[in-house]
Amino acid sequence: MSQKIEPNQNADTLFQMACEVIPGGVSRHTVFNKPHPYYASKAKGCFVTDIDGIERLDFANNMASLIHGHAHPAILEAVMEQLQRGTAYTMATVAELEFAQLLCNRIPSVEKVRFMNSGTEAVMAMMKAARAFTGRPKIAKCEGAYHGTYDFAEVSQTSNPGNWGDLNSPNSVPLVFGTPQSVLDNMVIFPFNDIEKTIAILDRHAADLAAVMLDPVPHRVGLIPATNEFISAIYQWARKHGALLLFDEVVTLRVGYEGAQEHYDSKPDMTAMGKIIGGGFPVGALGGRSDVMKVFDPRESRLLFPHSGTFSANPITTTAGRVAMELFDRNAVENLNALTQTTIRQIEEAIKLAAVPISITGAGSMFRIHLSATPPQTYRQAFQPKEVVGIIENLLNYMYHKENIMMINTFACMMSTVMTQMEVDRLSEGLYRCFMHHKDVLEKLA
**Catalytically annotated residues:** 146, 248, 275
- Residues 242, 262: Cα–Cα separation, whole Å: 23
| Closest by CA position to 168, among listed 203, 127, 218 | 203
Cross-strand pairs, 6: none
Residue 343 · residue 422 · CB < 8 Å: no
Q: DSSP alpha helices (H): ranges in 254-329?
A: 290-293, 315-327
Cross-strand pairs, 138: 209
Q: How many CA atoms lie within 13 A of 422 on its CB side?
A: 5
Which positions ≥6 away from 98 have C-beta within 8 Å? 318, 322
Buried b (16+ CB within 10 A) or exposed e, 115-152: bbbbbbbbbbbbbbbbbbbbebebbbbbbbbbbbbbbb
> Where does residue 21 rank: exposed (0-12), middle (13-18), buried (19+ CB within 10 A)?
exposed
Q: Phi and psi for 226 in degrees, rounded to 5?
A: -65, 145
Which positions ≥6 away from 340 have C-beta within 8 Å? 362, 364, 365, 366, 367, 415
| Closest by CA position to 346, among listed 331, 336, 360, 332 | 360
Tell me the three state secondary structure of residue 254: helix
In total, the chain counts a number of residues equal to 446
